Amino acid sequence: MNLVQQSLLGLSFAEIEIALSDAGVLKHHAKALWRAVHRDHAMDLASLDLSPPLKKWVAANVGEGKPYFIDFPGQEQEIHSNDGLTRKYLLRLQDGQVIETVLMGYDGRFTACLSSQAGCAMGCVFCATGQMGFVRHLTVGEIVAQVRHVRRMLAQSHPHRRLRNIVLMGMGEPLHNYDSVMKAMDIVSDVRGASIGPSRIAISTVGFVPNILRMAEENRPYRLAVSLHGSTEEERSSLVPTSKKWNLESLIQACRNYCDTTGKRIFFEWTLIAGKNDSPETAERLVALLQGIDSHVNIIPLNPTHGFAGAASESGAEFQKIIRKSGIPCTFRQRRGIDVAAGCGMLKAGRVVLTKRP
Ligand code: SAH
Ligand code: SF4
Q: Is the pTM of this model over 0.75?
A: yes
Return the DSSP state at 310: P
At residue 312, the pLDDT reads 55
Q: What is the pLDDT of residue 2?
A: 59
At 357 the pLDDT is: 34
Q: Which of 219, 149, 210, 162 is nearest to 186 (CA)?
A: 219
pLDDT for position 339: 72
Alpha helices in 79-177 (DSSP H): 128-132, 140-157
Do residues 6 and 12 lie in contact, with contact meaning Cβ atoms separated by under 8 Å? no
* Interatomic CA distance for residues 49 and 32, integer angstroms: 10
Write out pLDDT tens, residues 3-51: 789 999 999 999 999 999 999 999 899 999 999 999 987 788 888 889 9
Q: Which of 263, 277, 279, 197 is nearest to 230 (CA)?
A: 277
304 three-class SS: coil
Of residues 15, 76, 100, 113, which has the active-site annotation?
100
From the centroid of its chain, how far is CA 298? Answer: 16
Please classify residue 31 by burial: count the beta carbons closer than 10 Å to its beta carbon, then call 0-12 exposed, 13-18 middle and 19+ buried.
Answer: middle
Residue 350: per-residue pLDDT: 59
Task: Tell me the CA–centroid distance for residue 127 and ligand 1, in Å.
Answer: 6
Catalytic annotation present for 344: yes
Longest dimension (CA), the chain: 68
CA of 193 to the centre of ligand 2 (A): 30
Q: Please state, in angstroms and rounded to a whole number, the distance separating the CA atoms of residues 31 and 280.
A: 55
Note if 100 is an active site residue: yes
Q: Give residue 49's pLDDT.
A: 86
Which ligand lies nearest the alpha carbon of 225?
A: 1
CATH superfamily of domain region 74-340? Aldolase class I (3.20.20.70)
Give yes or no for a contact between 90 and 100, defined as CB atoms under 8 angstroms apart. Answer: yes
Q: Atom 4 (ligand 2): residue with closest C-alpha? A: 124
Q: Which of 120, 126, 132, 269 to mutate to test the pocket of ligand 2 (most atoms within 8 A of CB)?
A: 120
Name which of 87, 89, 93 is nearest 105 in CA terms.
87
CA distances from 259 to 256, 268, 355 (A): 5, 13, 46
How far, in Å, CA of 113 to CA of 116, rounded?
10
CB 340 less than 6 A from any atom of ligand 2:
no
Amino acid 13: pLDDT: 97
Q: Calculate the dihedral angle through the C-alpha atoms of 202, 306, 82, 161, rounding to the nearest 10 degrees.
A: 20
Residue 94 CA, ligand 1 centroid: distance in Å: 26
CA–CA gap between residue 78 and residue 90 (Å, rounded): 7
**Of 124, 259, 330, 344, catalytic:** 344
Low-confidence ranges of the chain (pLDDT < 70): 1-2, 306-314, 338, 340-345, 347, 349-358
Q: Residue 297's beta-bridge partner residues?
A: 268, 330
State the DSSP string of 189-234.
Answer: T-TTTT---GGGEEEEES--HHHHHHHHHTT-SSEEEEE---SSHH
The dihedral through the CA atoms of 79, 120, 145, 56 has a sign that is: negative
Q: List, for residues 287-335, the tens digit of each pLDDT value.
A: 999 999 999 999 998 887 766 666 555 678 999 999 999 999 999 987 7
- Tell me if 127 CB under 6 Å of ligand 2: yes
Interval between CA 44 and ligand 1 midpoint (Å): 36
Q: Which ligand is nearest to the CA of 303?
A: 1
Helices (H), the chain: 13-22, 30-34, 52-61, 128-132, 140-157, 178-188, 209-217, 233-237, 248-262, 280-289, 316-325
CB 318 within 8 A of CB 299: no
